[in-house]
Amino acid sequence: MNNRLMRAFVLTAPGKYAVQEVPAPIAAPGEAVIDVERVGVCGTDMEFFTGAMAYLHQGHSTYPMRLGHEWAGRVAAVGAGVDPAWVGRRVMGDTMLGCGVCRRCRRGHQHVCEKRQELGIRGERPGALAEQLAVPVSSLHVLPDSVDSVLGALVEPGGNALRAARAAAPRPGDRALVLGPGTIGLLVAMFLRAAGAEVHLMGRADNSPVLAHELGFEQMWTEDSVPDLPFDAVVDASNAAHLPGLALELVEPAGRVVYVGLAGEPSRIDTRRLALKDVTAVGVLSASPGLDDTIRAYADGTVDPRPLVAATVGLEQVGAVLAGERPADAGPGPKIHVDPRTS
């Protein structure tokens, strides 16, 4: 019997939350317990906060729930059947936890398993907004010394961005346009630049270009000011329902469009235009196939996402962040991190 308690952020209903004392996890067979050091707050968490997240209406998720799927920490204990050498390792983990036995899982596509759990999102697997977390060891990825907890908690969004950048298939000298300069969009831009592309960004007029310029991206546009240039690839990393169609309009014939953003309502593209322009369109769900390469890119400095983190708060401040408040000392970055060890 487990009598240990820990602090956790619990979302009890739309807009309702509490930091609670809950039972600390015990590692089941095949699992590890993690001392959580850093957690990223993302747009999906905010959708759960408002009640707009589709999984709530599809029966995949229910309140109360514990959010947090972008995390880094250290293995504190392991369950039966797990090599004890895992204890003490610094790790991050895959969000997508497949059943392990279906055809998709057997083919290495556990991130689209029909029966998958998504840590802190889908199913009954509590997320990382707590002092400790229990996950299958099979989902863990070891972090080298050069990837600290800040970078570790940015691996999950980075994996999505890496996959989107690779789907754009840039060649040195290609021109790429990224729609939506949020966390994912800026990370996509970084990976595209690392591949040798000339990168342009498009955002709303009320989005400050300061951070993009600080990151070295000078070609920053609004929807009304995008120049008439041939874009070999366009990546939609936004949540605007009309931008997938615009991406198809803006891309060069024989180019590539990549969809990694999700709108709150159905978005549409004209497949006639897709065919007549001979465009390749790719959808990206999940960082899973890109996690290890993202860790390597952070470790060797190919991409440095640290400027994206605007502030780090404790569990008590998570509710305000989910409600849209920015910490008073926040920098220009789009990402807020949480350190569950602090009050």
Q: What is the pLDDT of residues 82-95, one digit of tens each?
A: 999 999 999 999 99
Lowest mean pLDDT among 136-145, 202-211, 310-319: 202-211
Q: Which residues contact 204 (CB under 8 A, 6 or more apart)?
A: 222, 223
| Distance, CA of 144 to CA of 138 (rounded, Å) | 18
The CATH number of the structural domain formed by 5-154+305-338 is 3.90.180.10
Phi, psi of 178 (to 5 degrees): -110, 125
In the structure, what pLDDT confidence band is assigned to residue 210 with cuts at 50, 70 and 90?
confident
pTM for the model: 0.95
pLDDT at 1 over 60: no
Q: Which CATH number fits domain 160-283: 3.40.109.10, 3.40.50.300, 3.40.50.720, 3.30.70.2860?
A: 3.40.50.720
Across residues 49-74, what is the average pLDDT?
A: 95
21 beta partners? 7
Could you state, in order of their start, the residue ranges of all structural domains in the chain?
Answer: 5-154+305-338, 160-283
pLDDT at 43 over 60: yes
Mean pLDDT of the chain: 95
pLDDT digits (tens, 9 = 90+) for 263-297: 988 999 999 999 999 999 999 999 999 999 999 99
pLDDT digits (tens, 9 = 90+) for 143-177: 999 999 999 999 999 999 999 999 999 999 999 99
Residue 5: C-alpha distances to residues 23, 25, 32, 125, 164 (Å): 4, 9, 17, 18, 40
Across residues 133-137, what is the average pLDDT?
A: 97
In the structure, what pLDDT confidence band is assigned to residue 207 with cuts at 50, 70 and 90?
low
